Amino acid sequence: MNEFFVAVGLGLCILVFLVLYRVIFGPGVFNRIAAISAIGTKTLIILLVLGYVYNRVDMFIDISMVYALLNFIGCIAAAKYLEMER
């Protein structure tokens, strides 16, 4: 079963690099912010999969919740900053 979760984690890493293309070459600032948020969400899932693989789900859940909070605050801060720019 661990091989399946490792494969899922590697697949998600590939998806992160595909979304990273949108961050670098995105058509606009709002698309880039949405892509950064998507990368944060995929990173949360990768952390939880790693927690299952290492049999330490409780520790990785705590780490992923802090990361989710930082991702949310970062997106809100970027949106507020861009709103002030207009």
Beta strands in 1-86 (DSSP E): none
- Predicted TM-score (pTM) of the model is 0.82
Q: What is the pLDDT of residue 86?
A: 62
Per-residue confidence at 83, pLDDT binned at 50, 70, 90?
confident
Q: What is the DSSP string of 26-80?
A: -SSHHHHHHHHHHHHHHHHHHHHHHHHHTT-HHHHHHHHHHHHHHHHHHHHHHHH
Write down the domain spans for the chain.
2-85
Rounded to the nearest 5°, which phi and psi values hold at 16? Answer: -65, -40
Question: What are the tens digits of pLDDT across the range 29-62?
Answer: 888 888 999 999 999 999 999 999 898 888 889 9
* pLDDT reading at 13 higher than 80: yes
CA distance 6 to 12: 10
